[in-house]
């Protein structure tokens, strides 16, 4: 087996092969030996020598043999599935893929909002029926958009909404940090959060799933939203209480919803959410981009350049451990 500085573990994301990721890393790091592990045996053998590994996860039992491993670059933004305690015990730094999805998921959000604003689905239906008939639409300009979560996804979304002349409210854990929105309220500020919902035509969920955000958008939240509000969820399904969402849709308490994530997921084919004409459902597809490996390899390359400069696996971009 070839010695390796960087081991790319077996993985596929959005139909993109790990070979493409390895090629991007080789192009950015021509002085490093980048090796793709194609089998479990190759992963185990290569991890015994490599100082850097990148992939979906690394098994805890393999860590005991990976004596030289100093950095694990996770290809997901979320790291809750990783054996973080074991990685810390072995002195392995961990980074994630935060920000890689920013441009494409922000485009999905803006596209969803525009779809409900300009009602493109009506045009598609009329085209199918060869029907030339005017229909009512709305303007996005002057609307209020609340974005829950001002991480990489939320900031990218706000940046793209800026040119539409909307008022934006950001909701985050630490409102004292401010943000790119016209106003920022705290995630645990119930009064401020519900005030934002009450004046929003669009509510975008772009935050991670935590104990605080689980069930955040519940029946009480839907009661605060105006009847012309549209919910856009590109975060995680359980952040929105599904039964409460269905009740709100049944009673016309909101205008509609655009859901890239659901709870449960995948959404069963007999689930009631499929039956609503005012619900746009995409199969957790907002994260898909042909530039995934390009952006992720850029993060890894910049981090290794920093390691070369400092001699330490500290202060890295997207470092979570």
Active site residues: 236, 265, 284
Strands (E) across 140-217 are located at: 144-148, 167-172, 183-186, 202-205
Per-residue CA distances from 100 to 1, 4, 14, 200, 233 (Å): 31, 25, 13, 28, 18
| Backbone angle region of 182, left / alpha / beta, with phi > 0 → left and psi within -120 to 50 → alpha | alpha
Q: Are 28 and 9 in contact (CB under 8 A)?
A: no
Cα 22–Cα 28–Cα 32 angle in degrees, nearest 5: 70
Give the whole-angstrom CA distance, residue 44 versus residue 225. 52
CA dihedral 35, 38, 43, 46 (to 10 degrees): -30
* Chain centre distance of CA 69: 28
* Cα 182 to the center of its chain, rounded Å: 22
Largest CA distance in the chain: 69
Contacts of 262 (CB under 8 A, 6+ apart): 237, 242, 271, 273, 281
Measured CA distances, 161 to 114, 140, 202, 227, 228 (Å)? 11, 10, 12, 22, 19
Q: Cis check for the bond before 251: say yes or no (omega within 30 of 0).
A: no
């Amino acid at each position: 087996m070839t010695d390796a500085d960087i081991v790319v573990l077996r993985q596929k994301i959005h139909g993109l092969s790990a070979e493409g990721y390895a090629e991007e890393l080789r192009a950015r790091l021509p002085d490093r030996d980048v090796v793709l592990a194609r089998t479990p045996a190759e992963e185990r053998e290569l991890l015994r020598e490599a100082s850097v590994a990148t992939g979906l996860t690394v098994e805890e039992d393999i860590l005991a043999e990976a004596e030289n491993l100093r950095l694990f670059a996770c290809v997901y933004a979320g790291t809750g599935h990783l054996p973080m305690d074991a990685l810390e015990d072995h002195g392995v730094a961990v980074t994630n893929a935060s920000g890689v999805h920013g441009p494409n998921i922000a485009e999905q959000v803006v596209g969803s909002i525009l779809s409900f604003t300009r009602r493109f689905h009506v045009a598609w239906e009329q085209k199918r029926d060869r029907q030339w008939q005017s229909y009512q639409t709305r303007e996005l300009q002057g609307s209020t958009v609340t974005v829950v979560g001002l991480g990489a996804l939320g900031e990218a979304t706000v940046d793209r909404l800026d040119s539409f002349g909307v008022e934006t409210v950001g909701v985050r854990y630490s409102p004292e940090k401010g943000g790119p929105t016209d106003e920022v309220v705290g995630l645990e500020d119930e009064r401020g959060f519900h005030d934002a919902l009450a004046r929003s035509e669009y509510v975008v969920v772009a935050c991670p799933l935590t104990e605080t955000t689980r069930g955040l958008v519940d029946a009480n939240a839907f009661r605060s939203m105006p009847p012309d509000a549209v919910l856009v969820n590109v975060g995680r399904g359980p952040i929105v209480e599904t039964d409460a969402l269905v009740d709100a849709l049944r009673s016309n308490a909101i205008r509609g919803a655009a859901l890239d994530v659901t709870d449960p997921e995948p959404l069963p084919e007999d689930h009631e959410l499929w039956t609503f004409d005012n619900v746009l459902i995409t199969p957790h597809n907002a994260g898909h981009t042909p530039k995934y490996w390009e952006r992720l390899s850029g993060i890894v390359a910049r981090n290794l350049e920093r390691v070369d400069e400092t001699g330490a696996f500290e202060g890295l971009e997207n470092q979570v451990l």
